Amino acid sequence: MNSTWAWVGRRKERGVIAMCIEHLGKVIRVAELFEEMITKYIRKSYDDVRKLYTSIFNAEREADDVKRKIIAELSKGMFHPIDREELIRLVLTSDDIAAYLKAAARKLLLVLPADLPRELLDQCLIMSQRITNACKLIKDAVINLADDPQQSLKLADKVERIEEEIDEMRVKALELVLNKCREIEVPACIVTKDFVDDIEGASDKCEDVADVIRSIALLTL
């Protein structure tokens, strides 16, 4: 059984890809809720912030449930080892995006209701919006793997550019955190820095997923 990603024409492998797309939908939901959580924090709607964290927690758990189903399916199917490895990398790395965003959401809850600089929150909101966009591009890239791998490669390139933009934003956000550390207690300062780092970590995972998509797309050409 050669690994030329002939799976794209077989029912079983297409079924796994459909589950991966479902999983990415859950990851996108986590990203959208996280974006809304920052928006509510900016508006000082702290009760809504707490409720949104619960929603993020539940959405990330739903993503985990789909991830486990995919791994179970891969463990019992007749997949070429290379194909199985690529699909596992795809789902596990995608799942890491949601995990980082949940961690960031938890840290934002820990510093509530700290008077974080509006400029910092605005910067983090833009970063989160970029991540949501990157997740949607990733989903589109996976959808296109079977029929238009060249399009998948183009979408992966867009995800990489978003990650580079977020890297630059993170530097600016950390400058704002350091300035604020002169005014707030050390624990809050540390948690705020970790909050920014987790957002950037989710962005890094988006780029990692894009690399997996490139690997799969190249095997289908």
Query: Model pTM?
Result: 0.91
Instruction: Supply the pLDDT for residue 220.
Output: 74
Instruction: Supply the pLDDT for residue 75.
Output: 86
DSSP code for 8: G
Q: Is residue 94 scored above 80 in pLDDT?
A: yes
Q: How confident is the model at residue 81 (pLDDT cuts 50, 70, 90)?
A: low
Tokens representing residue 24 in the block: 């990415």
Distance, CA of 148 to CA of 154 (rounded, Å): 10
Instruction: Supply the pLDDT for residue 11.
Output: 59
Distance, CA of 50 to CA of 128 (rounded, Å): 18
Closest CA to 198 of 69, 108, 126: 108
Summarised one tens digit per residue, pLDDT across range 34-80 is: 999 999 999 999 999 999 999 999 999 999 999 999 999 888 866 66
Q: How confident is the model at residue 12 (pLDDT cuts 50, 70, 90)?
A: low
Measured CA to CA in angstroms, residue 157 lies from 2, 10, 143 at distances of 28, 27, 16
| Mean pLDDT rounded to a whole number for the chain | 90
Instruction: Supply the pLDDT for residue 96.
Output: 98
Instruction: Supply the pLDDT for residue 184.
Output: 67
Instruction: Supply the pLDDT for residue 90.
Output: 95
DSSP code for 7: G
Q: How confident is the model at residue 8 (pLDDT cuts 50, 70, 90)?
A: very low
Instruction: Supply the pLDDT for residue 187.
Output: 78
Summarised one tens digit per residue, pLDDT across range 178-197 is: 887 777 677 778 889 999 99
Q: What domains, with CATH codes, occur in the chain? A: 6-220 (1.20.58.220)
Q: Is residue 82 scored above 70 in pLDDT?
A: no
